[in-house]
Amino acid sequence: MIGLIKTVLGYGLLLIALWAGVTYLPRFLNTAVVPTNYDDVEGLKDTESYWLDAQVSPAAYAAGDALAFNFGTDKEQTRFAWVAATPGQQVAIVNGKLIVDGQPAGKGTKLPRPNQGPIIVPEHHLYVVSDNHRFDSLSAGPIPMAAVLGRIGALP
């Protein structure tokens, strides 16, 4: 009987350890990312780093999510932006405003651009905006998910 109790306790502890590993290990694997171009997003401080959650699945991104992306391997080219539209959504610029599926977007609302679009965000891409628009989707078009480094918890 004592042997059975030890076996059940052993398996119970193993299950608890497995659950804890699945639940908490991704948090330990997340890394911090430091902005390299502080004028991409107003209010970024050169003394701060931002936690990067690289475990986010492509389908989990939603409008308003902050993210880091990079078109190459040079960490000096890491950019920060917000998701404005996800695959399948329609994006246009109308009267200086970013319009997503017929509604004004939460970010990128006053744009010094002529009317453009509409375009449909392709599969495996995101339409992202930053404050200065030099390297976001307004300049480079929808970015491929392969360029996304991960979600940032919060940006100013």
Q: Please state the three-class secondary structure of 131-156 as a single string.
A: CCCCCCHHHHCCEEHHHEEEEECCCC
- Identify the CA nearest to 80 among candidates 121, 24, 136, 30: 136
What integer pLDDT is reported at residue 125 of this predicted model? 94
What integer pLDDT is reported at residue 86 of this predicted model? 93
Report how far apart, in Å, the C-alpha atoms of 115 and of each of 92, 94, 147 are.
7, 5, 27
Summarize pLDDT for 67-113 with one digit per residue, the tens: 888 877 666 677 888 899 999 999 998 888 888 999 888 765 577 77
Report d(CA 96, CA 138) in Å as an integer: 12
| Confidence label for 149 from pLDDT (cuts 50, 70 and 90) | confident
What integer pLDDT is reported at residue 132 of this predicted model? 75
Helix (H, G, I), strand (E, B) or coil at 82: strand
Summary mean pLDDT of the chain = 77
Report how far apart, in Å, the C-alpha atoms of 67 and of each of 12, 39, 63, 70, 78 are.
38, 15, 11, 10, 10
pTM of the model: 0.71
Residue 116: beta bridge partners?
93
What integer pLDDT is reported at residue 151 of this predicted model? 86
